[in-house]
Chains A and B, each alone.
Chain A
Amino acid sequence: MISPEIRIPRFDAYERVMHWMSALSFVYAALTGLAIWSPKLYWLAALSGGGFVIRGTHPWAGVIFTAVMGWMFARWAKTMGLDADDRVWLGKMEKYATHKHDELPESGRFNAGQKMLFWSQVLTALGLLGSGVVLWFPESAPRTLRLAAIALHPLAAIGSIAGIIVHVYMGVAAVPQSMRAMLRGYVVPEWARFHHAKWYREWRDANTLQKP
């Protein structure tokens, strides 16, 4: 048996702060963005001082979010590269969703789904940043660019928010103990072996916890 008292460090304090900074700025930008996106959701603006206020604050939340995304990219981009196992995993994603873990290849520190979320968020963040800057200064950008941005910004946001809804579900409900990993930074060996077997073995081999 694995002793449940053993704690494997999963996210250090930098990564936790980074993740939650991106999460908070994202939620703020998403709620204020939704208010501007549809008149039916305009009441969301009242949560943060009304339409005139969020027109000023939304872009800054976006700036913070993309800056943190840049930090995240610098820190995680290498780890997020897909290996051969990940490609097989992606082809069998429905096995993951239906809990047929025996039929899936083992994952490293992040599984292929997490990696895809990362890359999709990088892509949409670039789209949101580019179009967002154009929309921020309507009298400085050429009209053609602004017209493109009016469609691109919500399109990127839809992709981004839909991905984050699934991400939040995974973290809060679908994968027990993952929330603790991101809040307190550690996981237990059983969790690590089940979800990230390759990463678990790396940790095990690097530590003294060998087979007796």
Chain B
Amino acid sequence: MLVAKLIDTTLCIGCKACEVACQEWNDQEYTLGTFDGSYQTMADLAPNFWNLIKFNEIEKDGGTSWLMSKYQCMHCADAGCIAACPAPGAIVQLANGTVDFAHDNCIGCGYCITGCPFDIPRLSPKTKKVYKCSLCSDRTAVGLEPACIKTCPTNCLTFGERDEMLRVAEAKTVELRADGHKDAGIYNPAGVGGTNVIYVLKDAKAPESYGLPRDPTIPWTVQLWKGPMKWLGSFAFIGAVLGTFFHYVIYGPQDPELHGHKDEEAPHD
């Protein structure tokens, strides 16, 4: 059974309780940030900070308003990080859809950072391994909801069976359209096979204004590397080994006695 986290951006009040809950449950050390004129806690995600409420400022009707987004791992069905990861078992996809990093197997190459279309994983300079939201796999495994869901005071965040979450999201967009938000919709991008973190957006036609990519996909160079290039390489390596071996079997080594210039006089010394 697939699970999903539903983020109804219209209900977010920017309290950041989910950030604190995430830090607490995952036992992350708090890193002091700097105030840079925004209500946002941090400028960016960090190896020890997996969940950032972004205060996306937009100019609308002569005033400034916020579009809240929850910057975190989207737990893609076709995950770019898994496609790019070269270390067997370092990134696993659980039966419930969670994309989880197994740090014992992580070699810290950072390919997942490149493969991720959402720019989520962060390399720790301390442990030299990569970190991101685990969807609280240690909680969901025992039937608990993720820490951020547990703490959200407005029901902006809900968690449950994926189909149910999609139904709730659909009902909410219908409601929003009726309220005059004619572009309201669900963000569940098909390019990565759908995600297990789903958004309800007031303006689904402009996901970029929430800091979400319009059409995230697994990069084609990653697919090239994991697909056709494996064949090309196997062909080249096996071909070179077998080709040289059979060359020896057929023609043997070069031998001046047998293959020399017969018509030329032998050099005199």
Contacts and interface: CB of A to CB of B under 8 A. Distances in A.
Interface in A143-188: 143, 146-148, 150-151, 154-155, 157-159, 161-162, 165-166, 169, 173-176
Given A139-B110, A150-B111, A150-B225, A2 B233 contact: no
Given A97-B247, A189-B269, A194 B108 contact: no
A195 B137 CA distance: 66
A191 B110 contact: no
B267 A2 contact: yes
Given A101-B261, A139-B123, A52 B88 contact: no
Interface stretch (B146-154, B194-202, B248-256): B248-256
B253 A37 contact: no
Interface residues of A, number: 56
Interface string B89-114: 01000000000000001111111011
A192 to B, nearest CB: 9
B225 A99 contact: no
Contacts of A109: none
A103 B127 CA distance: 62
B88 A39 contact: yes
A138 interface: yes
Contacts of B105: 51
Interface stretch (B8-16, B32-40, B158-166, B236-244): B236-244
Interface stretch (B21-29, B60-68, B181-189, B216-224): B216-224
A158 B269 CA distance: 45
B269 A2 contact: yes
A99 B255 CA distance: 9
B263 interface: yes
Interface stretch (A10-18, A73-81, A121-129, A204-212): A204-212
Nearest to B229: A154
B233 A37 contact: yes
B268 A165 contact: no
Contacts of A68: none
Given A150-B225, A158-B233, A162-B237, A52 B86 contact: no
A138 B113 contact: yes
B56 to A, nearest CB: 21
A195 B247 CA distance: 19
Contacts of B219: 147, 150
A162 B243 CA distance: 11
Nearest to A42: B88
A26 to B, nearest CB: 14
Contacts of A159: 236
Nearest to B261: A102
Given A99-B258, A143-B114, A209-B269, A36 B86 contact: yes
B232 interface: yes
For B239, B247, B263, the residue with the greatest tally of chain A CB atoms inside 10 Å of its CB is B247
A29 interface: no
Contacts of B237: 158, 161-162, 165
B269 A101 contact: no
Contacts of B88: 39, 42
Interface of B: 84, 86-88, 90, 105-111, 113-114, 119, 122-123, 128, 219, 221-222, 224-225, 229-230, 232-233, 236-237, 239-241, 243-245, 247-248, 251, 253-256, 258-263, 266-269
27 contacts: A36-B86, A37-B230, A38-B233, A39-B88, A42-B86, A42-B87, A50-B107, A51-B107, A52-B107, A52-B128, A54-B107, A56-B128, A99-B255, A101-B261, A102-B263, A138-B109, A139-B123, A147-B114, A148-B221, A150-B84, A150-B219, A154-B233, A162-B240, A173-B248, A173-B253, A189-B267, A195-B254
- 9 closest A-B pairs by beta carbon, nearest first, are A138-B110, A169-B244, A51-B107, A194-B256, A165-B240, A151-B221, A162-B236, A146-B114, A55-B107
Given A135-B111, A147-B222, A166-B240, 18 more contacts: A37-B230, A51-B90, A55-B108, A97-B247, A99-B251, A147-B114, A154-B225, A154-B229, A158-B237, A159-B236, A162-B239, A165-B241, A165-B244, A173-B244, A189-B269, A194-B254, A194-B261, A195-B256
